[in-house]
Amino acid sequence: DAGITQSPRHKVTETGTPVTLRCHQTENHRYMYWYRQDPGHGLRLIHYSYGVKDTDKGEVSDGYSVSRSKTEDFLLTLESATSSQTSVYFCAIGAALLAGELFFGEGSRLTVL
């Protein structure tokens, strides 16, 4: 498996609190992605990064922000968590633009009460 780890793996929090999920890679891949997975919706892209300090929005970016200060780390922040953000979050990394497989982390299950 590719060297990609997500933390925390499980988190329960309350509405209105900030939450940060971390994705760490040891593969030196340029591209990093955050997806959320919900029943009936498949995997939806939240934000992605194409280099250090270079990020862009995906299809469901409202309520989320990201940062990438180092090649190996990509942080996803929920400034004020809502119950609609209860989901499983997957980080993915990729080496190539427009081609090549993505390697996924194990996922972070977030529950917002």
Partner 1 sequence: GQQVMQIPQYQHVQEGEDFTTYCNSSTTLSNIQWYKQRPGGHPVFLIQLVKSGEVKKQKRLTFQFGEAKKNSSLHITATQTTDVGTYFCAGFTGTASKLTFGTGTRLQVTL
Q: Which residues bind partner 1 (CB under 8 A)?
A: 31, 33, 35, 40-45, 48, 50, 56, 58-59, 90, 92, 94, 97-107
CB 106 within 8 A of CB 89: no
Cβ-based nearer residue to partner 1, 62 or 99:
99
CB 33 within 8 A of CB 45: yes
Residue among 26, 13, 14, 73 nearest 49 (CA): 73
* Residue 17 beta carbon to partner 1: minimum distance, rounded to whole angstroms: 26
Count of CB atoms situated within 10 Å of the CB of 105 = 25
* Residue 46 beta carbon to partner 1: minimum distance, rounded to whole angstroms: 11
* Residue 54 beta carbon to partner 1: minimum distance, rounded to whole angstroms: 10
